[in-house]
Structure 1
Amino acid sequence: MVIGVGSEPDTLSPLLCYGKDGNSKLFDGLLARDADLKLVPALAKALPQVADDGLTYT
């Protein structure tokens, strides 16, 4: 795999990498965006459900 980026990633460890280029190109997140830029589950089984008060996500 060849990906052109402006700089080298700081590290390949997802725990230590704070730059977007390292993690986003190598690891999937819990959620992703579809072609319409709507959130869809990636590694998550489903989208979180937000309570009416907006404070609880399940």
Structure 2
Amino acid sequence: MTIRTCIAIIGVGNDLRRDDGVGWAVIDRLGQRAAARPFPAGTVLAACDGDPVRLIGL
């Protein structure tokens, strides 16, 4: 039996509303960090505006 691990890091917010864009900023910084120190295999970085349908899809 093979166990498949998937890690999802989802930054929620809205980049256009500066008070609510921190989730997207964190995802951006984590993406920059991953260039030097990669995340474990199966790790996905995603940004979402908080819409429930899009969150479920991620």
Greater Rg by CA? 1
Which protein has the bigger helix share?
Answer: 2
| TM-score, normalised by the number of residues in structure 2 | 0.19
| TM-score, normalised by the number of residues in structure 1 | 0.19
- The structure whose RCO (Cα within 8 Å, separation 6+) is larger is 2
